[in-house]
Amino acid sequence: MTMLTRSERLALLVNLLGDEAAASAKAGLSGDALANLENAITDFQQYPPSQEEIDLVLDDFSSYFQMALQASGRSGLKGGDAEDDSLEDDDDAPAILQLSEDQFDVEVELNKRFDAPKLTGNLIVDLNHVHPYQLAHGLRNERPQVIAIVVRRLADEHAAKTIEFLPETLRPLIFLQLANQDSTSSRVTQCVLEKALELALDVKERRSEEDSAEKMARLMRSMPRSLQGPMLEELAKSDEELAEQVKGLLYRFDDLKKLEARDLQKLLGQCQTDVLVVALQNVEEDLLNHVLGNMSKRAKEALQEEMQYKANAKQDEIDSGRSEVVKILIELVESGAVEMA
């Protein structure tokens, strides 16, 4: 039987959610709790978890998520006249868990334009009738506490899809909010839900965000580096999520060829060996030679030996490894530690 400590389970979960989720989780911890989490994450990086352990953690999280939703005391909220529909007396309002999932008919296809739903006047039902993308896009700049108030009132499938459409950095913060008892007053809750519905309905179409980000990144790559930072800052003021996407696309793995020897050595010193081993699989020969040429003889031989063992790495593993290297490159460039030609 698989046995994992609390720290190990948390470490495995944030590992599955990604590096940004891990960083967000660490930001909320300190002392022994933080140290235990970091040690557990390191252990999983050195000794990957088994499928049984992954399934165990995901099953636990799913159960805990369901319990958090049920414990939040969700109740039907009716829009309309404040005197008649106050949330402070909602004994006759339908509890969300009493409604079947198929009543919400959650639509998750990547529609370009959204049809306006037929509003019922019941805030919860109406929120569950708008597309999850509309909710997520409308709420993406709100605080996690506010988003959690809305998510608690959604049917389970709708809640899951809404969270999926939110920025990656927000997801773990919302999960943490859902794990806490909801103490928001009924009046504030009603105001939040009314505003959430308004924001969601304002989202008329689904933008091709990846295409937009790629086009902007290509344009910015042709500009001087001195202009890129200010442009990203201005973009972030109006659309932080898009700015992060552009930043992630602004640098590519083959940009390592543009680094001078000293700067490349700084980058390699920040990279985990196992990540570098996977990232360099199937890479262009000139880039591989550039990297190996800036390593010590011992390090180069060790890396080449490890690369032989990982020669059958899957493409998604290779892409993930290269993304990790690019993240480090971005951090070094933004901090001024390295320069790009």
* Angstrom distance (rounded) from CA 199 to CA 131: 12
- Higher pLDDT: 51 or 313? It is 313
* Summary mean pLDDT of the chain: 78
- Higher pLDDT: 23 or 255? It is 255
Q: What is the pLDDT of residues 47-83, one digit of tens each?
A: 777 777 776 766 666 655 555 545 444 444 444 444 3
* Angstrom distance (rounded) from CA 106 to CA 248: 31
Give the distance, in angstroms, between the CA of residue 64 and the centroid of all CA atoms in the same chain.
19
Q: What is the pLDDT of residues 148-166, one digit of tens each?
A: 999 999 888 888 889 988 8
Q: What is the pLDDT of residues 231-265, one digit of tens each?
A: 888 888 888 888 888 888 888 899 999 899 999 99
The string of DSSP letters for 25-72 reads: HHHT--HHHHHHHHHHHHHHHHSPPPHHHHHHHHHHHHHHHHHHHHHT
Structure tokens belonging to residue 7: 């720290």
Structure tokens belonging to residue 8: 């190990």
Q: Count other Cβ atoms within 10 Å, centred on residue 247.
A: 19
pLDDT mean over 302-310: 90
pTM of the predicted model as reported, rounded to 2 decimal places: 0.41
* pLDDT for 227: 82
Q: Assign 341 to helix, strand or coil.
A: coil
